[in-house]
Chains A and B, each alone.
Chain A
Amino acid sequence: MSKKRTVKSRLIYRQISDYILFMGPSITIFTILFLIPLMGEILYSFTDWNGVAAKFNFVGLYNYIRTFRDKTYWKAMWFTVKFSFFVVVISNLLAFGWALILSRELPLRNFWRALIYVPRIVGGVILGFLWRFIFQNVLVQFGEWSGISWFSQKWFTTPESSFWALVIVMTWTLSGYLMLIYGAGFATISMEYMEAARIDGASRIQVLFRITIPMLTATITRCLFIAINWAMLLYDTNISLTNGNPFRSSEGVTMNIYATAFKSDQMAFGAAKSVIFILIVGAVSFGQFYLTSRKEVEL
């Protein structure tokens, strides 16, 4: 009897120690550096904490009301939404086109893929600095040489130029990555469906819209999801390329939150802004996910 119990308790002990070994470290650091900050962010958004003081009071929805009244925040939000729209549409169209071209046999296929993917390795603030050189030097000289004044404008001094500069840069770094994902999608479709449709007399355009695109819905959903997330969370490139110029007109939401929380020391206000931001990003991504994944076809 007692022997049986020790065997059993040793088994339980062994199992618990396995759980600690396999899940303990991950759970611990994830709780400390992710779950607690997340809870804290929500908690702080209902207080008047300034980030320095030891004490704070609960102020209810005050910070949220302030956020709704804050014009710079909604200007940044509108900027982010508009920016994301153009980036998502342009980069997905380009990526889809390139993947379509590369989906069939072509000389040097992998070489072209690698070249188009290369911009992905440039990231963070370096991406913005690289393009500042291109806009402020290369394009200006090109404009003077070719006589097209759009190129030789004073970049980052008008809201439009800053906006389009950011769209171009983000599209540049994102399209190659999406192209690879679309490529993976194309590889999973069997060519037989297309060939059968072609034999039945469907034109290339019809095959594209009636067969290829419906069969790629899962991939399209995924690419849109990635692009929306990347574009809406813009920060590094924002500060290094335009830094909000001119007059905070090219400021994305993250930059706005950062300025509120860390430059003017209104942590609680910034926390309320980020809570609203996460809700909006979540709503957009899942709305998109819901709309496109409904159209998925199964075979």
Chain B
Amino acid sequence: MKKSERINTGIRLLLIAVSAMIVVIPLYFVVLNSFKPYAEIASNISAWPKNPTLANFKEAFRRLNFFVALKNTMIITVFSSLGCVVLSGMTGYWIARHNNRFTRLWQILIMSGMCIPFQCIMITFARITGMMNLGNHLFGVVLSFWVFSLPMSMFLVTGTVKSVPYEIEEAAIIDGCRSLSLYWMVIFPLIKGTIFTIVSLNVLTYWNDYLMTQFILTKNAFRTLQIAMQSMFNEAFFSWDTAVAAVTLSILPLFIFFVIAQKQIMDGVTAGAIKG
């Protein structure tokens, strides 16, 4: 390597290291201070804890009703992802392979969902979910997520299916493969990459949604992490030591997921960027 190039790499490394540090430092402060009693937070926020304590977490657990909230959030995320994969995969495949007036109409209608945000339909949405008795049922949220993640996911599937050569399907049909098994045994394995992209993009939305969920889930027993956090912070009486532990707790599950599936998640985002 030439000398000038080495200097160049050094500068770039410095820039990116400083940036990454600034980006991560808020998370560091939150985690660090959740182990400290309030007096230590108030006196010196950046110091290492003198008497590390788990009391904050204990209090946060109780206030958030953490396990119930975590369970609800996980149920919603898992079932929303599964349903989204099934629905957007099958419909996207069918639309990509059958080009007629009916499918074109629905393709346009569903795609229009990508440009119309939830904010603009929320008033009647709240009314309709109320009328359908979806309120206070986890399935109500799951069903809604299937609908709201359909446009984007279907868009990605349709694009990918078009790049799968039709000859493969013809061969399978001659071998006696009917539509349902044709999709699940032949096409689905071929578009797995896109399916993974869809899941890794959607999980974050499912996990972090607040606006839509709060219309449907209002009872304590059905709180998700987001809703539990909001109501905890809305209570008139709270102190920062508990609050900061609660923030750490509620970030932790997704953080663990990110550390484990880091490479796949980031590849998924990148792939989604190119295909979209």
Contacts and interface: CB of A to CB of B under 8 A. Distances in A.
Given A41-B123, A126-B225, A185-B273, A22 B150 contact: no
A124 B210 contact: yes
A201 interface: no
Nearest to B183: A22
Nearest to B265: A117
Main secondary structure of the interface of B (DSSP, over half): helix
Interface stretch (A26-34, A82-90, A151-159, A190-198): A26-34
B23 A133 contact: no
A278 B147 contact: no
A112 interface: yes
Interface string B103-138: 100100110010111011111111111001000000
A106 B16 contact: yes
A138 B45 contact: yes
A142 to B, nearest CB: 8
Among all A-B residue pairs, the 8 with the closest Cβ atoms: A123-B208, A40-B124, A22-B94, A37-B124, A124-B208, A181-B273, A37-B121, A278-B120
A121 B207 CA distance: 9
A33 B123 contact: no
Given A126-B226, A278-B119, 13 more contacts: A21-B180, A22-B179, A23-B91, A23-B103, A40-B124, A51-B127, A106-B16, A113-B266, A184-B271, A185-B273, A257-B119, A274-B120, A277-B120
B70 interface: no
B94 A23 contact: yes
B243 A41 contact: no
Interface residues of B, number: 88
A277 B273 contact: no
A126 B208 contact: yes
A114 B262 contact: yes
Interface in B201-234: 204, 207-211, 225-226, 229-230, 233
Nearest to A252: B119
Contacts of B266: 110, 113-114, 117, 180
A115 B20 contact: yes
Interface stretch (A65-73, A228-236, A290-298): A228-236
Contacts of A233: 117, 119
Contacts of B229: 125-126, 129, 240
B48 interface: no
A206 interface: no
B193 to A, nearest CB: 14
B190 interface: no
Interface string A8-21: 00000000001101
A223 to B, nearest CB: 9
Interface in B43-90: 44-46, 87-88, 90
A44 B244 CA distance: 42
Contacts of A278: 116-117, 119-120
A210 B30 CA distance: 43
A222 B91 contact: no
A185 B208 CA distance: 27
B150 A236 contact: no
B87 A25 contact: yes
10 contacts: A26-B154, A29-B143, A40-B121, A106-B12, A110-B266, A119-B23, A125-B233, A126-B251, A187-B270, A274-B120
B125 to A, nearest CB: 4
A273 B270 CA distance: 36
